Each structure stands twice: as structure tokens, then as C-alpha cells.
Structure 1
Amino acid sequence: MRVVLASASPARLSVLRAAGLDPLVEVSDVDEDALLAAVPDATPAEKVTTLAGAKATTVARRTTEADAVVIGCDSMLHHRGELVGKPADADEARARWREMAGGSGELVTGHAVLRVVDGEIERVAEGHAVTVVRFGEPTDAELDAYLGTGEPMLVAGAFTLDGLGGWFVEGVDGDPSNVIGISLPLLRRLLAGVGVTVTDLWSP
């Protein structure tokens, strides 16, 4: 059975590899903006789970793996009543950081796990995880330096926990792997939901 990660995120891939899996990466090409526009009244959890499911389903339908588990994820930051993804540019990232500094937000990640047997989707399990992130207060010089690296523009909420942004995160309440982009505890439960034991997927 092959594990397929329907995500371009190097952070998610790194988490899975560190946790004993060796997934094949197949990136979906779903139109995230169109999907979100179709569910304007959905909750933050429903929105990210919808995106995760669409990504996983797109990849599962086109994968050449006859026997596989396809994992899709999508993360966004819920802050002050707004659900935000990756910033469009450095100015937007700067504005977000000025709003987040010294406060907290909820990193919400939708997860979808699809069991593919003989090339067909046989079972599906979906869920979401929420982790509260408590932000520090970087100085103007520190924020300029961080924005200059380009990292904030690549990630939901304009920060990372496992990269340079970790210097400016005071702590998290909940699952830290979820902040990186994929919740291992939730993923283990979802795998069980499609009849797969996570330890059977560990690389030799």
C-alpha cells in the first residue's frame, strides 16, 4: 500500500517522513478560491475540510497507484473572526503580523484520507484539528528581516512553527504538528477510519 500526499507543502512531507512514512507527493490543481466561494456560509473547519477533501479526491482519481492511501490537507489561520491563508505579498504579511503580535489565533487544518483499492476510492474519512497559537511581538527590525526571507508569503497565517517564524511564537495550546500543517493524532484516527493501522505504514 502506497501513501500519497496530495500537497506541495515541504513541511507536511517533513512531518510525515519524521513520523516514519515515505509518501509519494502528487500535487492537486484545485481552484481553492472557487471552492471557498461556493461555501460562503461554512464554518472555518468546514471550509478547510472542504479544500482538503477536494485535493485528496482530485489526486485519488488520477493516481496510478492501484493500492494507496491518499492524504489531503489544508490549513488556514482563524484570527479576529477572519479566516486567512497565505498572504499575497510582504505588505499583507506585515499587516497581519502587526495584528497578531502579542495575541493569539487558531490554526485550523482540514484533513481528508481516502483509501484507494484497485484504482477506485473505497473509503473516505475526514476531520479537522484546531491549535491555538500564541504570538510574540517581534521588533520592527526583526519583522523586516523575517519578511525579507520570503518565508511568511509561503504559509498560512504568514508564520511557521518549524522554521524561522518559530522565533516569534510564544507557544501553542494543542497539537503542534497541526500548526506545521498535518495533525499526526488526527491522521492516525482517520487512517483507522479507512481500515489502515498507521504502524503498518512505517518505513522499514
Structure 2
Amino acid sequence: MRFVLASASPARLAVLRAAGVDPDVVVSGVDEEAVTAALSDPTPAELVTALARAKAEDVAGRVSSGDTADPTAAADTPATTDTVVVGCDSMLFIGGELVGKPGTVDVARARWRNMAGGTGELLTGHAVVRLRNGDVVARAEGTRATTVRFSTPSAEELDAYLATGEPLAVAGAFTLDGLGGWFVEGVDGDPSSVIGISLPLTRRLLAEVGVSVPHLWSESAPR
């Protein structure tokens, strides 16, 4: 069984590796703004799920045709390989607004003004596509929502955090497993989902497409 992660996120990759899975990484070429624009008044859960689905489907198509970012991996993988592709997308729902990566220091600073001392709901959409002989044989998708309780960083702490660049490139302008973890009081729900990929939900979706998690564990995984 070949496992393909349709994401460039090092945090998602780290979660999977810590859980015994060493996936191939193939980054999708999906235009997220175009996917969003094509939806008619989606709920937050519908939006993150649609984005995850688009990424998984894009990568599944490329894996099927052998057009991946890693030509060595594609060349070494026979067409008959049983493959599962997992795509994810995360956004923070806070103050009635769904927000993704801030991109700039000013936007990240404004986000933290709204988040500090409060709570937000981190939503991660998941989509799984199973391929056999290059054809899609099963699909599954779902969303996991986790409540995040934020502390209030001092002005000096926030300036220092923004200067690292970390919050600019992550959903909601914070991480749980990185420097941002200093400013999170706690989470109510699944911490792996806040990092970017929910292990419990991914396990359930894999089961829906007929894949057992132990079959994905790498030889280096603890036994």
C-alpha cells in the first residue's frame, strides 16, 4: 500500500511519521481561491472539506498519470500499486469569520488582537482517495473541529513571535507544535487536528475506503 500526502505541510508530515506512517509527499497545484469562489455560500466545514477534496483529487490524478513532483517515486511505483491519497485543509473560525494563513505581519498581528484571551474553532477538512491500477475505487471525506483556547501574549512576546515568520504561513496565525504553543492555553478536542491532520478521523476515513492503519505502518515504526 502506497500512502501519499497531498500537502507540503511539514507539521502534517511529522504527525504521520510519529504515528508510524512514512508517506510520499506530492503537493497539489489547486487554486484555492478558485475552489472557494465556485462554492455557493458554504459553511465553514463545507469549505475546508471542499478544499481538502480538491487537493486529494488533484494529486490522485497526477499519481495515476505518473505526473508527480517526485519523478523517482513515480518511476519506482508500478501502475498496479494500491495507493491511498490524503488531502487536508485547515482554517480557524473565530469571531464569526473563517480565516486561513495571514501572509503578512500586519494581518497576523490583527488576528492575534482578536484571538488573545479568547477561543476559536480550528477546522480541518480531510479527503481520502484510493486508487488501484490507476483508477479511483473509493473516496471518503470529513471534517474535524477542535476548540482552541488562546492566552494573551505580551506586546514583546507577540513582536518576537511575529518576527520569526512562523505565524504568517499557518492557519489562524498560530501553531500548537511550534513556537505558537507557548501562547495556547489548551484545546478541547483532537490536538492532532489542530496540528493539521486528525489521526482519529483519518483512521475512520481510511477504514471507509477499506484500508487498515496497521498496514500503513512503516518498518521503522515501533512494534
Normalized against structure 1, the TM-score is what?
0.99
> 2:10 & 2:24 partners in 1: Cα distance?
12
The equivalent position to 2:202 in structure 1, one of 187, 191, 202, is 187
Which amino acid letter does the alignment assign opposite residue 48 of structure 1? V
Residue 127 (structure 1) aligns with: 142
Query: Residues 142 and 11 from structure 1, CA distance in 2 versus in 1: closer, same or farther, beyond 3 angstroms?
Result: same
> 2:136 & 2:90 partners in 1: Cα distance?
24
- The 5 Å alignment of 1:1-204 reads 1-63=1-63, 64=66, 65=77, 66=79, 67-204=82-219
Residue 186 of structure 1 aligns to a residue whose secondary structure is helix
Residue 72 (structure 2) aligns with: none
How far has the Cα of 1:39 moved from its partner? 1.2
How far has the Cα of 1:120 moved from its partner? 1.1
Residue 190 of structure 1 aligns to a residue whose secondary structure is helix
Q: Superposition RMSD on alpha carbons, in Å?
A: 0.7
> How many residues in Structure 1 have an aligned counterpart in Structure 2?
204
Percent of residue pairs bearing the same amino acid type:
70
Q: Deviations over 1:66-89 (max 9, x none)?
A: 421000000000001100000020
> 2:98 & 2:133 partners in 1: Cα distance?
38
How far has the Cα of 1:38 moved from its partner? 1.3
Unaligned residue ranges in structure 1 (runs of 5+): none
Larger Rg: 2
Residue 12 of structure 1 aligns to a residue whose secondary structure is helix
Residue 138 of structure 2 aligns to a residue whose secondary structure is strand
> 1:145 & 1:88 partners in 2: Cα distance?
16
> 1:27 & 1:40 partners in 2: Cα distance?
26
How far has the Cα of 1:58 moved from its partner? 0.3
Which amino acid letter does the alignment assign opposite residue 118 of structure 2? G
- On the 8 A contact 2:92/2:172 being kept in 1, the answer is yes
Q: Deviations over 1:179-199 (max 9, x none)?
A: 000000000000000000001
> 1:122 & 1:81 partners in 2: Cα distance?
38
> 1:89 & 1:117 partners in 2: Cα distance?
42
Unaligned residue ranges in structure 2 (runs of 5+): 67-76
Residue 205 of structure 2 aligns to a residue whose secondary structure is helix
> 1:88 & 1:165 partners in 2: Cα distance?
16
